[in-house]
Amino acid sequence: MAHDPECIFCKIDRGEIPSEKLYEDDKVFVIADINPAAPVHLLIIPHEHTPTLLDLEDDQHDIIGHVFKVAAKLAKQKQVAEQGFKVLHNVNHWGGQRVFHIHFHLLGGRKFGE
């Protein structure tokens, strides 16, 4: 599994930076966002370091489906599924990406977008 020695998410995954993993399997781990934008704001992060969605190789695209499967499971566990939630992904600077290791935001617990 590829890691970047300088990436904050890789450091969290390796245990070099303490963080409570709320969920983990062989493909992803989940942590709470340190600057939550909603009552439920989780980050779903693949273990393998890939800087952006644009950098995914053909044999890596299955991770996207897995992320959404985990998001649905966590939305149900956090009791935000029925009222609704968002799964967001930012790509590159203008898209709002701040950490260059693909990750997905699960947001819920409040009403969005009116």
Give the residue ranges of the chain where pLDDT is below 50. Answer: none
The total number of structural domains that make up the chain: 1
pLDDT at 4: 84
Strands 104-108 and 85-88: antiparallel
Pairwise CA distance, residues 94 & 97, whole Å: 7
Which of these is catalytic: 41, 47, 101, 103?
103
| Residue 13 domain flag | yes
Pairwise CA distance, residues 86 & 71, whole Å: 9
| Residue 108 domain flag | no
Which CATH number does the domain housing residue 48 bear?
Answer: 3.30.428.10
pLDDT at 2: 76
| Residue 90 domain flag | yes
Active site residue 105: no
User: CA gyration radius for the chain?
Assistant: 14
Question: Tokens 């695209």 identify what position?
Answer: 61
Residue 45 structural domain: 8-100
pLDDT at 1: 59
| Residue 62 domain flag | yes
| Whether this model's pTM surpasses 0.85 | yes
